[in-house]
Amino acid sequence: MKLPAFDYAAPQTLAEAIELLVANEDALPLSGGQSLIPILAFRLAAPSLLVDLRRIPGLDTITLSERGIGLGARVRWCDIEADQRLATAHPLLADAVTYIAHYPIRSRGTVGGSIAHADTAAELPGIAVTCDAEITAVGRNGARTIAAKDFFTGPMMTSLAHDELVTELRLPPWPAARCWAFEEFARQHGAFALAGIALYYDVRDGVAANVHIGVIGASAQLQRIAEAEAVLNGRAVDDAAILQTAQAAAAAIDPADDIDAPAAYRRALVETLTARALKRAASRPR
């Protein structure tokens, strides 16, 4: 389908981009276009102006420091895949990104676009919530930092104001000995997940500590599953603990019942994927 008519601007600075958003109430930022262009083609949005972010300098860097991993809003999926440092600096992120779409899409889709689009089945927003990431947004009133759990307010909904642009996602530092796994189920490789589980824990005195378990695809809210985390915290990761944690995860979520899958199927997927992820995390050499 042909796109609706719109004006196009490619500002050279962040300030100029924000000015354009302030001046045009129905303008939308354009990053990789891998979600926005299909949205326009389906006539789900008809902005008067697209503000292309590609010429704004400084948004495409991946930084590693004692503060963690900073991903600029214009960092693409293929940039994350190509950055060998991330295999050790944040293996959960590096692994999850390989599940996103297909290479042509991964060569254009960006961190900022995915975070702002806030699809509950998308890998990066799920990793952001699971890892307690922070998102920096800049608007007419300056910059603010938002915890991922407060940023995503519902399916495809965020706490961003119209004039605010995501500039960076920051993941906390990742200890080398951490146990982790990402598991998802999609009908075909590259499709959005019907359900996915991202998890990690640290081992202290032989038991799991600091357990983080997040779900994508199977729930209307991007969330950590506190009930499942509580089952595993303080326990040895053995077969009984894995089963009970997986059952707690499945019981705690409120899965969508829609054309893609019935709620009961998604709930069963969450139990299976949680158990699979915990087994994989426990079996990895630390």
Ligand X SMILES: Cc1cc2nc3c(=O)[nH]c(=O)nc-3n(C[C@H](O)[C@H](O)[C@H](O)COP(=O)(O)OP(=O)(O)OC[C@H]3O[C@@H](n4cnc5c(N)ncnc54)[C@H](O)[C@@H]3O)c2cc1C
Sites of contact with ligand X (CB under 6 A): 28-36, 38, 53, 73, 100-101, 105, 108-110, 112-114, 116-117, 122-124, 165-166, 192
Shortest Å distance, C-beta 56 to ligand X: 9
Question: Bridge partners of 52?
Answer: 30
| DSSP-derived secondary structure for 33-91 | -TTHHHHHHTTS---SEEEE-TT-TTSS-EEEETTEEEEETT-BHHHHHH-TTHHHH-H
Shortest Å distance, C-beta 191 to ligand X: 6
Question: Would you say 174 and 86 are in contact if contact means Cβ atoms under 8 Å apart?
Answer: no
Burial class (CB in 10 A: 0-12, 13-18, 19+), 85: exposed
Residue whose CB is less far from ligand X, 117 or 178: 117
Shortest Å distance, C-beta 158 to ligand X: 8
Residue whose CB is less far from ligand X, 53 or 208: 53
Shortest Å distance, C-beta 83 to ligand X: 17
Torsion of the alpha carbons at 10, 16, 22 and 28, rounded to the nearest 10: 20
Question: Would you say 90 and 173 are in contact if contact means Cβ atoms under 8 Å apart?
Answer: no
How crowded is residue 246: how many other Cβ atoms within 10 Å of its Cβ? 25
Residue whose CB is less far from ligand X, 75 or 237: 75
- DSSP 8-state class, residue 197: E
Shortest Å distance, C-beta 194 to ligand X: 11
Residue whose CB is less far from ligand X, 180 or 192: 192
Residue whose CB is less far from ligand X, 107 or 247: 107
Tokens of 129: 């919530």
Residue whose CB is less far from ligand X, 165 or 248: 165
Shortest Å distance, C-beta 147 to ligand X: 17
Question: In the chain, how long is the greatest CA-to-CA distance?
Answer: 62
Residue whose CB is less far from ligand X, 100 or 282: 100
DSSP strands (E only) in the chain: 7-9, 28-30, 49-52, 62-65, 68-72, 134-139, 142-147, 152-154, 157-158, 165-171, 179-185, 195-204, 207-216, 223-224
Shortest Å distance, C-beta 51 to ligand X: 8
Residue whose CB is less far from ligand X, 97 or 249: 97
- DSSP 8-state class, residue 259: S
Q: Which residues are CB-contacts of 204 (< 8 A; sequence separation ≥ 6)?
A: none
Shortest Å distance, C-beta 32 to ligand X: 3
